[in-house]
Amino acid sequence: MSKKNKIIIAAIIAILLCSYIGFAIWNVSHTQVDTGIPKNAIPVEIENSHIETIICKINVKGTVELIKSETLFSRTSATVEMVYVKEGDQVTAGQLVAEYDSKVLENLQDQLAEAKLSLKSATLNLKAAQTALAGQDKRKLENAGIAYDKAKLLYEAGAITKQEFENANEAKIDAQEQLDNNLSHISILQVTIEQNELKTSQIEKEIENYTLLEYAPCSGTVLASYIKKGDLVVPGHQLFDIADTSLNNLTITAVVPENEAKNLALSQDVEIRCTAIGQTIFKGRVSKISSIATKKQIGNSQETALTVEIRCEDAPLKAGYTIDATIITKIIENTVVIPLMSTMRDADSHSYVYIMHEDYSVEKRLVELGEYAGIYVEAGNIAEGERTIINPSAQVKEGVFVKPVAIRKPEN
């Protein structure tokens, strides 16, 4: 191949290469121009501000609880002979619920009879001792005294021997000792009588308090039974929990964190959902708000919270159910909202958003945020239809150009 041909071929190849690259540049540029978006615009997600009615809600979890319940306690020591109700049974006030063994009562009655006999016996003994003391013992002492006085005169006159005088003296001392012994015996008998009286009184009281039968203190459902046949109970032993389980006696208790409590008020509407019942949403109202906030366990953390009671009159709730409640605190109609994800805060804690204009340029604008509604927030200083940039990156600044990107939403 001649040098000239080589040069021609090389030139043709070079022209073809340059043409290819030139066409490629034109082709790529043409594609970019068609979209109208400036080169190197930062891709962003855009959402238009829109008019919406904001329903301010507080979502809480709650538990259905009984307003009032009765606990029946044993008043005596006894063995349970029969239990007539079990957990879940319906009872009426005064209904027999349990019966005790009568052996203990019979035993008490025997003890009472025995104590009474002992008391009677002691009383008779005392009487006999007092009679003896008043008659025979005193006379014996007086006679011994007279005999001693006589023996003393005779001994001093030399009419009797010393031995006879000492015998008279001993007889007087014996009479005195006997009298003293009888006095002591009387005292002992008096103490015995007092003891017997106390014992009798105690047994009588036990018999008086003793109840063979236990009755329901109120109408309702037996929530818990703590005894079974053969159990030994003592006074104060817990027997049954009984409560009225109708809606009148049920309330829902929930805790509201302090940061959400500002709009909370009595009689606010509540939407109640309970998985145990189904998907139906029931209506309720806030019936009570605690006057003090306390530390409560909410989720995995301890938070200062208010306890709120909610009354619901049409749901087939049962005590112990867990419910999800939505307290509707405020309704703001027809206001401009923007996505919460588009809002940011500067160093001075001012909220702002980035707005994309028609020419894809970005404007940073301060906004006044109002009430929150799910993923949206009420925004002042924003007109309906303005395009806010969601979750703007650090590259997004006032004056830069952005490229709105259609987000592929997850399929649910």
Partner 1 sequence: MDMENNEIFTIVEDEVQKMSFIQRLVSLFTAPVKLMQNIKYYPKIAAALLLCMGLSLLTLPFVSKITEITTNMMSEIMLIRYGQDFISFMESTQAAANNPQLSAITTASTTLVLLLSYPLMCVIKTLILFIITKIAKGMATFKQYASMYAHILLIAVLGSIITTSIMAAMGTLLDVSSLAAVFMPSGNFSMIPYNLLASISLFTVLEIILAGIGVKEINGFTNRKAIIVVSIIFILSVAFTTIMAGSSVYMMDLSYKALGYQ
> Of 82-111, which residues contact partner 1 (CB under 8 A)?
none
Residue environment code for 214-226, b if the CB has 16+ CB neighbours within 10 A, otherwise e: bebbebbbbbebb
Residue 284 or 392 with smaller CB distance to partner 1: 392
Return the beta strands (E) in 67-137 as ranges.
70-73, 78-83, 90-91, 96-100
The correct pick among 8, 11, 15, 21 for binding partner 1 (CB under 8 A) is 21
Q: Please calculate the CA angle 254-328-273 and round it to the nearest 5 degrees.
A: 55
Under the criterion CB under 8 A, does residue 403 sit at the interface with partner 1?
A: yes
Under the criterion CB under 8 A, does residue 347 sit at the interface with partner 1?
A: no
Residue 37 or 132 with smaller CB distance to partner 1: 37
SS3 65: strand
Under the criterion CB under 8 A, does residue 4 sit at the interface with partner 1?
A: no
To partner 1, the closest distance from the beta carbon of 26 in angstroms equals 10
Cβ contacts of 179 within 8 Å, gap of 6 or more? 133, 137, 138, 140, 141
Residue 22 or 320 with smaller CB distance to partner 1: 22
Tracing tokens 């041909």 back to the chain, one arrives at 5
To partner 1, the closest distance from the beta carbon of 294 in angstroms equals 34
Residue 270 or 355 with smaller CB distance to partner 1: 355
What is the rounded CA–CA span in Å between residue 329 and residue 264? 6
To partner 1, the closest distance from the beta carbon of 404 in angstroms equals 10
Strand 344-345 versus strand 351-356 pairing type: antiparallel
To partner 1, the closest distance from the beta carbon of 359 in angstroms equals 17
Cα 174 to Cα 128, 129, 144, 169, 386, distances in angstroms: 21, 18, 9, 9, 128
Return the beta strands (E) in 265-321 as ranges.
269-273, 281-289, 294-298, 301-311
Under the criterion CB under 8 A, does residue 43 sit at the interface with partner 1?
A: yes
Residues touching partner 1: how many (CB under 8 A)?
Answer: 33
> Of 377-396, which residues contact partner 1 (CB under 8 A)?
391-395
Under the criterion CB under 8 A, does residue 48 sit at the interface with partner 1?
A: no
Binding site for partner 1 (CB under 8 A): 6, 10, 17, 20-21, 23-25, 27-32, 39-45, 391-395, 403, 405-410
